[in-house]
């Protein structure tokens, strides 16, 4: 298998996405206790603070987007393409996704959407390169 620098950025965002669950789980440990958090949620559980709820949603959104980004980067590897466009797009994607997580957790609505759209645009750029090579 060919290695391309875009794989570094894919691994970085995959690991970051893996860790994005930690803030809202740790908050639940504090609010509900460790063992209740490890059990099943109950309707009688106290609600999480808004930031923890947004953190969880941002994590889920990161997973949704990683599911599209990862196969496209792996496709680049398979077909052996890496160029300025794909590397820049991978870097932009990672920075946009990290920014999105932070801004979403903080509750900043417009910037959250802008960062989301930047990440989508970077993913589309990589997808177009993959499709162009497939023709």
Is the pLDDT at 61 greater than 70? The verdict is yes
Mean of all residue pLDDT scores within the chain? 95
Instruction: Record the tokens describing residue 125, joined without a space.
Output: 């750029």
Residues across the chain: 135
Give me the residue spans of the domains in the chain. Answer: 6-134
Q: Alpha carbon of 30 to those of 20, 61, 100, 118: distances in Å?
A: 17, 24, 25, 34
Q: Are 4 and 76 in contact (CB under 8 A)?
A: yes
Question: What proportion of the chain, given as a percentage, has pLDDT over 90?
Answer: 90
CATH number for the segment(s) 6-134: 1.20.120.550
pTM exceeding 0.85: yes
How far is residue 16 from each of residues 23, 49, 74, 91, 94, measured CA to CA in Å?
A: 12, 22, 18, 14, 9
CB atoms within 10 A of CB 41: 10
């Amino acid at each position: 298998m060919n290695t391309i620098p875009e794989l570094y950025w894919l691994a970085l965002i995959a690991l970051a996405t893996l860790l994005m669950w930690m803030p809202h789980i740790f908050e639940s440990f504090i609010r509900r206790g460790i063992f209740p958090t490890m059990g099943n949620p109950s309707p009688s559980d106290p609600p999480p603070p808004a930031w923890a709820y947004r953190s969880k949603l941002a994590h889920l959104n990161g997973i949704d987007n990683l599911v599209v980004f990862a196969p496209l980067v792996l496709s680049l590897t398979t077909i052996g393409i890496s160029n300025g466009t794909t590397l820049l797009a991978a870097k932009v994607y990672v920075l946009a996704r990290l920014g999105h997580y932070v801004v979403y957790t903080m509750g900043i609505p417009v910037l959250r959407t802008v960062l989301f759209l930047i990440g989508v645009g970077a993913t589309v750029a990589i997808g177009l390169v993959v499709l162009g090579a497939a023709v």
